[in-house]
């Protein structure tokens, strides 16, 4: 508990978490407003549509997770931390936990603010959370953000430089997974198992929250997993990457 409190204080006494929280809510909400505000009978709004911009916020969360680590290396506070607590594994696990919890809160605020904004912009459409799929599509955003934050922490530990870690995360999440599909013959098969495509399957399932219309929401994931197994796969990927990062950090000089 002491380590968790220390990491919470270190994280929340900097400006980056607060700016990232605001940026996530504003970016996701703005993008959602553009989509929902232009809904028509031919392209109606649905619960899935209200979360059209969640990936914009996800990018911000990845930046937050990476900065929570790389700024400590930049200002050499990580060395002081390891001197005070020689158990590096416990320190890094506490950091990942605190960042994940903060990302969870930001994710829920982002998702429900986008949903609430959509209710105001499109009152004539059925945007109520009437099913489990609808609830997961909205409330699940925070869970995805939390797991993605752990991935970002792990990448930050491995790279240790803010620019490098953030560039790597942004390039991968915004471009690499989509470009993999262009690989002849095997691209689509590989894409099915890439982590953020799988995470999208957890949120959108088979399109149940699209109101029965395939185009009334973001494109669906191609992952063959069920939403539950998709979440487990995404979490497992993050855990393995974090373990690799912690083992690597234990072997390096601070």
> What is the Cα Rg of the chain in Å?
19
Q: For residue 253, which phi and psi values (nearest 5 degrees)? A: -75, 145
**What are the phi and psi torsion angles at 45 (to 5°)?**
-85, 145
9 SS3 class: helix
Write phi, then psi, for 223 (nearest 5 degrees).
-65, 140
For residue 227 the two structure tokens come to 């939403």
Question: What pLDDT shows up at residue 22?
Answer: 92
Name the stretches of the chain with pLDDT < 70: 1, 211-217, 254
- Do residues 152 and 64 lie in contact, with contact meaning Cβ atoms separated by under 8 Å? yes
DSSP result, 77-102? HHHHHHHH---HHHHHHHHHHHHHHH
Contact in structure between 207 and 48 (CB atoms under 8 Å): yes
Which pLDDT belongs to residue 6?
A: 84
Tokens for 230?
């998709």
Q: How far apart are CA 159 and CA 199, in angstroms?
A: 24
Dist CA 101 CA 115 (whole Å) = 21
Q: What tokens appear for 233 in the block?
A: 């796969």
Structural domain spans, the chain: 2-251
pTM for this model (two decimals): 0.93
The predicted pLDDT at position 94 comes to: 93
């Amino acid at each position: 508990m002491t380590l968790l409190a220390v990491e919470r204080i270190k994280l929340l006494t900097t400006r980056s978490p607060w700016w990232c929280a605001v940026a996530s809510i504003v970016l996701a909400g703005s993008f959602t407003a553009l989509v929902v505000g232009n809904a028509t009978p031919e392209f109606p709004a649905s619960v899935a549509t209200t979360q059209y911009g969640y990936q914009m916020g996800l990018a911000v969360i990845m930046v937050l997770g990476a900065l929570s680590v790389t700024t400590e290396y930049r200002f050499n506070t990580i060395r002081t931390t390891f001197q005070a607590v020689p158990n590096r594994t416990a320190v890094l696990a506490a950091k990942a936990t605190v960042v994940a919890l903060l990302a969870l809160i930001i994710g829920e605020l982002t998702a429900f603010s986008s949903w609430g904004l959509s209710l105001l912009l499109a009152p004539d459409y059925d945007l109520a959370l009437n099913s489990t799929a609808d609830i997961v599509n909205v409330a699940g955003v925070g869970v995805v953000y939390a797991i993605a934050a752990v991935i970002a922490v792990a990448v930050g530990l491995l790279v240790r430089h803010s620019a490098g870690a953030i560039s790597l995360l942004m390039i991968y999440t915004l471009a690499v997974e989509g470009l993999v599909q262009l690989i002849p013959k095997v691209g689509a098969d590989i894409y099915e198992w890439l982590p953020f495509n799988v995470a999208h399957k957890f949120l959108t399932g088979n399109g149940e929250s699209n109101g029965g219309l395939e185009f009334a929401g973001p494109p669906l994931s191609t992952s063959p997993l069920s939403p539950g197994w998709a979440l487990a796969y995404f979490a497992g990927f993050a855990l393995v990457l974090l373990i690799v990062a912690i083992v690597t950090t234990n072997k390096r000089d601070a």
